[in-house]
Chain A
């Protein structure tokens, strides 16, 4: 992918990873991704972030198409995760830069990852700035957005915010900018990314957005470290992050389940009917067909989460446990939920599901519905009624928020 001049003398020198569908081992990235690095040509030539180690030669050729690599004076590591700092040992060896800038937490993490105490570290904190010649770089620590070391680099002369993982999306494309691709697809990818990576730290997102406003940063371009660069929709993505972080109630529910002989599945469909009768949108997701990260993508704008599993060997099915573990870690707030379960003899799964949902701080409408083997008409009516009850609770939340 050719380098792209995003501002005068500022280049995207990143890598497009077209075929990676497994993002960091926990989320799917069905559209691939990019690892964005940025090169600023000034009196002090500066590289912002890098790429995974396996792409280090690709980065070399990208930079080499502009300047010899060893001309770089400074490296800024906004985030130490290996997809953005994995090429550091290679770069340090090739470039021997004068200075490496990172946050205080980033300094510790660079040591923990690469074990090189002699690199020329210059830890910075919020409020610190450096001069590159014609330009200044101001640093803003953004701890837990989404690691303790994360920070933003802002170049006021160019009104450019290099935002690391924040505002990123997993999209591999030949286009670099938000006005070159379909906006609805871009926003959907942003939401999917946020709700699988940033969601647990939503309160920090709000705090950082407030800080950006307080500092009066004038931003006309946001250059994240994954995916598309924002230049025509900056206010839109900033507002979207505020909205994601707020987790406003919305009249939608997601029903997730796994099933053996389709009894639990029949229950899922009946519950959905109850929700739909009450005018609440529903998405039914069988966990054998949908990855847990895709369920989180749907849960992004859904206030209801209804979870079903048959009893299997006195427990729940493994894919349901997988989803519940994953969702609990992402700490969604303001959700209501319920459980449903079929069973053959012992029937423990309903209670297990209720306990899981409660431990994830979901407001659970108990006890839910339990069907011995195949649900009959009366049992399906009970399921439908559960759907209605959840719908009422969702609508009450929406009304209270209005």
Chain B
């Protein structure tokens, strides 16, 4: 599963960890996160994330 980076603040979404505080269970693929989810660090939208190289 791919990790995704917030292009605004640099936070990395790791599917293995998820974002439990934001209601995203560990093991959730980035693609499966709801569109209204936002970066837990800076509040950027899902569209502001890019696949980690």
A residues near B (Cβ < 8 Å) are 105, 141, 143-144, 148, 200-201, 203-204
Q: Are B41 and A105 in contact (CB under 8 A)?
A: yes
Q: Which 9 A-B pairs have the closest CB atoms?
A: A143-B43, A144-B42, A143-B42, A148-B41, A148-B42, A144-B9, A144-B8, A201-B8, A204-B8
Cβ distance A255 to chain B, nearest Cβ, rounded Å: 29
Q: Are B9 and A148 in contact (CB under 8 A)?
A: yes
Q: Are A204 and B44 in contact (CB under 8 A)?
A: yes
With both beta carbons as reference points, the residue of chain B lying nearest to A201 in the complex is identified as B8
With both beta carbons as reference points, the residue of chain A lying nearest to B8 in the complex is identified as A144
Q: Mark B18-46, 1 if CB is under 8 A from A, else 0.
A: 00000000000000000000000111100
Cβ distance A145 to chain B, nearest Cβ, rounded Å: 9
Range class of the B interface residue count: under 10
Which A residues are CB-close (under 8 A) to B8?
144, 200-201, 203-204
With both beta carbons as reference points, the residue of chain B lying nearest to A141 in the complex is identified as B43
Query: Majority SS of interface residues in chain B?
Result: loop
Which A residues are CB-close (under 8 A) to B9?
144, 148
Cβ distance B6 to chain A, nearest Cβ, rounded Å: 10
Alpha-carbon separation in the docked complex, A108 to B8 (Å): 20
Which B residues are CB-close (under 8 A) to A143?
41-43
Which A residues are CB-close (under 8 A) to B48?
203
Alpha-carbon separation in the docked complex, A203 to B9 (Å): 11
Alpha-carbon separation in the docked complex, A141 to B48 (Å): 19
Which A residues are CB-close (under 8 A) to B41?
105, 143, 148
Cβ distance A358 to chain B, nearest Cβ, rounded Å: 15
B residues near A (Cβ < 8 Å) are 8-9, 41-44, 48
With both beta carbons as reference points, the residue of chain A lying nearest to B45 in the complex is identified as A207
Cβ distance B12 to chain A, nearest Cβ, rounded Å: 15
Which B residues are CB-close (under 8 A) to A141?
43
Which B residues are CB-close (under 8 A) to A204?
8, 42-44
With both beta carbons as reference points, the residue of chain B lying nearest to A105 in the complex is identified as B41
Which A residues are CB-close (under 8 A) to B44?
144, 203-204
Alpha-carbon separation in the docked complex, A200 to B10 (Å): 11
Which B residues are CB-close (under 8 A) to A200?
8
Cβ distance B38 to chain A, nearest Cβ, rounded Å: 9
Which A residues are CB-close (under 8 A) to B43?
141, 143-144, 204
With both beta carbons as reference points, the residue of chain B lying nearest to A202 in the complex is identified as B8
List 23 contacting pairs A-B, 8 Å CB cutoff, sorted by A.
A105-B41, A141-B43, A143-B41, A143-B42, A143-B43, A144-B8, A144-B9, A144-B42, A144-B43, A144-B44, A148-B9, A148-B41, A148-B42, A200-B8, A201-B8, A201-B42, A203-B8, A203-B44, A203-B48, A204-B8, A204-B42, A204-B43, A204-B44
Cβ distance B44 to chain A, nearest Cβ, rounded Å: 7
Cβ distance B20 to chain A, nearest Cβ, rounded Å: 14
Alpha-carbon separation in the docked complex, A201 to B41 (Å): 13
Alpha-carbon separation in the docked complex, A141 to B40 (Å): 13
Alpha-carbon separation in the docked complex, A143 to B38 (Å): 11
In addition to A105-B41, A144-B44, A204-B43, 18 A-B residue pairs with Cβ atoms within 8 Å of each other are A141-B43, A143-B41, A144-B8, A144-B9, A144-B42, A144-B43, A148-B9, A148-B41, A148-B42, A200-B8, A201-B8, A201-B42, A203-B8, A203-B44, A203-B48, A204-B8, A204-B42, A204-B44
Which B residues are CB-close (under 8 A) to A105?
41
Alpha-carbon separation in the docked complex, A201 to B9 (Å): 8
Which B residues are CB-close (under 8 A) to A148?
9, 41-42
Alpha-carbon separation in the docked complex, A141 to B39 (Å): 14
Which B residues are CB-close (under 8 A) to A201?
8, 42
Alpha-carbon separation in the docked complex, A200 to B42 (Å): 12
Alpha-carbon separation in the docked complex, A148 to B43 (Å): 8
Which A residues are CB-close (under 8 A) to B42?
143-144, 148, 201, 204
Which B residues are CB-close (under 8 A) to A203?
8, 44, 48
The winner among A105, A144, A200, A203 for most chain B CB atoms within 10 A is: A144
With both beta carbons as reference points, the residue of chain B lying nearest to A126 in the complex is identified as B43
Alpha-carbon separation in the docked complex, A203 to B38 (Å): 14
